[in-house]
Amino acid sequence: MYMNEKIRKIRSKIQSFDFNTSLTIKVLIVMIVVFLTVLMFPRGESIEFEYRIGSIWGSEDIIAPFSFPIYKDERQYEREKEEAAHAVKPVFRRDAEQVDRSIDSLRTLSGRIKAAIDFELDHREREAVRRREPDVQEQLERDALMLQEFKRDLSVQFNAGEWEALVSLREGLDTGEITSLEELRATIESFVRDYYRRGILNKPKDDIEHEDIALRRNADEVITPVDRFYDISEVNMTFEEEISELLPDDPAKQSAALKLGSYHIRGNIIFDEEETGRLRTIAREEVPRTIGFVLENERIVSRHERITENTKLRLDSFRRAKAERGGVTNLWLQYAGKGLHVTIVLLLCGIYFFLFRPKVFNNNAKIALIALIILMMAFFAYLSHAVNVDAPVEYLIFVPAAAMLLTIMFDSRLAFYGVVTIALLVGGIRGNDYSIMIVSLIGGALAAYTVRDIKHRTQIFRSMVFIFLGYTLTILALGLERFETPMAMLREVTFAGANALFSPILTFGLLIFFERVWKITTDLTLLELSDFNHPLLKELSQKAPGTFHHSLVMGSLAETAAEVINANTILARVGAYYHDIGKSLKPEYFIENQMGFKNRHDKLSPRMSSLILISHVKDGYELGKKHGLPKEILEFIPMHHGTTLISYFYNRALEKKSENDVINENDYRYPGPKPQTKETGIVMLADAVEAASRSIDEPSVAKLKATIDGIIKSRFEEGELDECELTLKDLTNIREAFFKVLVGIHHPRIKYPGQAEKDKNAGRLEQGPLQEKEYKETGAMPPEETPTEPGTKR
């Protein structure tokens, strides 16, 4: 019982633990990034200036504080080791017993062939004599089976023509140069002995890279040309030529003799792979690692001296010697310093998130995503430093891809800070290579700039030109400063061009992956959702055309308002499109979709009408989840009403209540929550303003202004905007934006003769006699909502 209780408590703690906002998780993510990044830093002391062959040393003179060896360049050292190993000649040994084994095998096979042929000749004689005797037929069949068994047991199989040629030799019927089977065997044996006497390699000559081999016999070794020996293919070819000359007019005999001899020819000059490998290992180990010494107090490099290949080797060796002399303690101090370097960079990034991006700071999933992108770039930097190639591979660190990903998934400001962080880490991982840090910073900043207002996915590829231009100009500037050769700068620009080509491709692929795994809603996702062919919008336009038109006008209002207060314009517009999708399930209960005289609410109680109106929020949310709408869009569905009161039906309920009825105001309020973001707050205001503006008779500038002011003031006083980030200045700007859009929609038109009477009659038909009377008598707005109450809308 005690254990079960303990397990329950642990489960309860785990379930209540908020992984997405926990400070512990944040610290853990930072620790992992610091640890992995420090491991990628180069081991050893860094000389605090970048140096390349051909550049000018800009620091003070460096005097050796102690003597140290000058190590060869790693590529040169590996090349020399391979050359030394290749110089070792392959070792072969002569197998003196192979000739005896082959001759014995040939004689054994010849004896078995003789026995088989003798049995067959006897069988033929018996068959000729006894064919007339029916009682011996069974014995003859058994003999035939036995003969087949004899032939199958032979190690070499002959076809019918070859076998008959051998039979004729056994019978001694031939009159040519070879008249018997025994004579054929002796001739083949003579050829084989000659081949073994010269030597047959068990390895094809094409696979032997040297012209000579080291032929060993016991302790003696003789360097012998490869051409003095046969290999298997050559000996078979020679044997075939000699047999053809010996038996020129009998193809069957030639084929039988070739099979008989070729089967027993094996290599007797055997490649000793183990000994050859051992000698090559020794040769590699004997290659000297150093090419000289720098003595104590000797000058390593002078100020303003051009860096030559030898100078670079001396500087590299000095750095290595300092690291080796430091020992374990110094190594730990190095790692501690590098860890502090990374921690400071990440701390500055974290402070920026805390102060200016609280939504990102409070979302551990997004922090983990940013950390993963940083680690990816750090790993590219590590590979470029660790890979031992004579090429400027540092320009294949895809910092522009990281910049574009951060811009598209977050925004350009966060991307710029991310690029600065990545560039600092890349420079450190590459051994304080500040030139690549500057190049990465400029290339990444330009990449972020190109996708800051992205409208479609293919726009990512437009950034290729800007990335290449940024890299090229920076490389030329740094190259001219260091007096690099044009060829060296051209190589660097070529690799930068590869970066500009592959960064957008990498961005395109990773963006899809991050959107799916992290459920990130980017502007690209929102733009795809704004397509009116989306199933939800298509269904809304068909089943609830009035609501669909209302959503389109709302989208224009919301987008304009979001632009003037620097909110996300695309999010506000798309949120407006989907905020009322729940009405597609019961469109006839909402007045903007009622095309006739009857209003469904006339026969319903106020409570039932309010439940139907409130249900469109829940229905819309479930419908959106079913179709996979992102969380950011789903929030608009409940938040665009907040906790506002459905005042029309609440007032009707108060009018109709009896003495025993209890009317609860909360029953006539939307469940909320209130808007939590600027965008949802804008859509709440746009919803009420658009509905109210359509109910104004003969709208004028003064009426529109009064309606907008009244709605915004009402929502503010009711506290519906308390939980979003809209300020009083924002509300003022929103009011002006709404006004400009509505004036454009409700601009005055020229009245044609008789048009006024037609409009009046059409208005009665749209409203219906009962509704028109109620509205005029009560001064109320249509039954969904009033200008100051965000209940339902006309």
Lowest mean pLDDT among 184-188, 347-351, 493-497: 347-351
Q: How do strand 62-63 and strand 299-301 relate by DSSP bridges?
A: antiparallel
> Given this model, what pLDDT does residue 779 score?
33
The region that residue 156 occupies, defined by phi over 0 for left and psi between -120 and 50 for alpha, beta otherwise, is beta
In the predicted structure, residue 422 carries a pLDDT above the cut 50:
yes
Using CA atoms, how far residue 586 sits from 9, 533, 620, 634, in Å, is 46, 21, 11, 19
* Nearest C-alpha neighbor of 124 from the set 171, 159, 183: 171
| DSSP string computed for 521-561 | --HHHHHHHT-TTSHHHHHHHHH-HHHHHHHHHHHHHHHHH
> Given this model, what pLDDT does residue 13 score?
61
> Given this model, what pLDDT does residue 674 score?
95
In the predicted structure, residue 587 carries a pLDDT above the cut 50:
yes
| DSSP string computed for 71-88 | EPPHHHHHHHHHHHHHHS
> What's the CA gap between 384 and 247, in Å, rounded?
68
pLDDT in tens, 99-156: 999 999 989 888 888 888 887 777 777 666 655 555 566 666 676 777 777 777 787 8
Instruction: Give Cα 65 to chain centroid, integer Å.
Output: 48
> Given this model, what pLDDT does residue 6 score?
64
Average pLDDT over residues 342-368: 85
Given a contact cutoff of 8 angstroms between Cβ atoms, the answer to whether 471 and 500 are in contact is yes
Q: Which two tokens stand for residue 738?
A: 């709404």
> Given this model, what pLDDT does residue 749 score?
59
* Nearest C-alpha neighbor of 40 from the set 330, 427, 324: 427
Count of CB atoms situated within 10 Å of the CB of 106: 20
* Own/partner long-range contacts of 459-462 (Cβ < 8 Å, ≥24 apart): 460/404, 460/408, 460/504, 460/507, 460/508, 460/511, 461/504, 461/508
Query: 260: which residues sit within 8 A by CB, 6+ positions away?
Result: 106, 109, 110, 113, 156, 184, 185, 188
* DSSP one-letter code for 69: E
List 655's β-bridge partners, or say none.
none
Given a contact cutoff of 8 angstroms between Cβ atoms, the answer to whether 412 and 372 are in contact is no
Query: 664: which residues sit within 8 A by CB, 6+ positions away?
Result: none
Lowest mean pLDDT among 432-436, 473-477, 479-483, 548-552: 479-483
CA dihedral (693, 696, 701, 705) in degrees, to 10, reads -50
pLDDT in tens, 36-95: 998 888 765 444 455 777 777 877 888 888 899 999 988 889 999 999 999 999 999 999
Of 261 and 751, the structure prediction assigns the larger pLDDT to 261
> Given this model, what pLDDT does residue 794 score?
34
Given a contact cutoff of 8 angstroms between Cβ atoms, the answer to whether 644 and 687 are in contact is no
SS3 for 123?
helix
Count of CB atoms situated within 10 Å of the CB of 697: 7
List 301's β-bridge partners, or say none.
62
> What's the CA gap between 591 and 544, in Å, rounded?
10
Of 396 and 481, the structure prediction assigns the larger pLDDT to 396
What are the DSSP E strand ranges found in 6-151?
Answer: 62-63, 68-71, 91-94
pLDDT-based confidence at residue 157 (cuts at 50, 70, 90): confident
Given a contact cutoff of 8 angstroms between Cβ atoms, the answer to whether 711 and 689 are in contact is yes
Q: Which two tokens stand for residue 680?
A: 């949802």
pLDDT-based confidence at residue 739 (cuts at 50, 70, 90): very high
535-543 helix and 545-564 helix, angle to the nearest 10 degrees: 130
> Given this model, what pLDDT does residue 561 score?
97
Average pLDDT, the chain: 84
Given a contact cutoff of 8 angstroms between Cβ atoms, the answer to whether 192 and 264 are in contact is yes
Query: 166: which residues sit within 8 A by CB, 6+ positions away?
Result: 113, 117, 158, 181, 256
Using CA atoms, how far residue 645 sits from 651, 667, 729, in Å, is 10, 9, 26
Query: How many helices, marked H, and strands, marked E, lie in the chain?
Result: 31, 10
pLDDT in tens, 489-503: 999 999 999 999 999
> Given this model, what pLDDT does residue 333 score?
62
In 172-217, which ranges are continuous DSSP H helix? 181-198
* Own/partner long-range contacts of 272-281 (Cβ < 8 Å, ≥24 apart): 272/91, 272/92, 272/93, 272/216, 275/91, 275/216, 276/88, 276/90, 276/91, 279/88, 279/91, 280/85, 280/88, 281/85
> What's the CA gap between 4 and 709, in Å, rounded?
61
Count of CB atoms situated within 10 Å of the CB of 71: 19
In the predicted structure, residue 326 carries a pLDDT above the cut 70:
no
Average pLDDT over residues 575-595: 91
> Given this model, what pLDDT does residue 694 score?
86
pLDDT in tens, 745-786: 886 655 556 555 555 554 443 443 333 333 333 333 343 443
Q: Degrees (nearest 5) of the Cα angle 542, 543, 546?
A: 90
> Given this model, what pLDDT does residue 53 score?
76
In the predicted structure, residue 441 carries a pLDDT above the cut 50:
yes
Average pLDDT over residues 560-589: 94
Q: Which two tokens stand for residue 443?
A: 């290339």
3-state percent helix, strand, coil for the chain, nearest multiple of 5 = 65, 5, 25
In the predicted structure, residue 390 carries a pLDDT above the cut 90:
no
- Cis amide linkage into residue 753, ω under 30° from 0: no
> What's the CA gap between 610 and 597, in Å, rounded?
21
pLDDT in tens, 501-536: 999 999 989 999 998 898 888 888 998 899 999 999
Of 385 and 2, the structure prediction assigns the larger pLDDT to 385
> Given this model, what pLDDT does residue 776 score?
31
In 579-628, which ranges are continuous DSSP H helix? 606-626
In the predicted structure, residue 545 carries a pLDDT above the cut 90:
yes
Average pLDDT over residues 646-674: 87
The share of the chain scoring above pLDDT 70, in percent, equals 86
> Given this model, what pLDDT does residue 778 score?
30
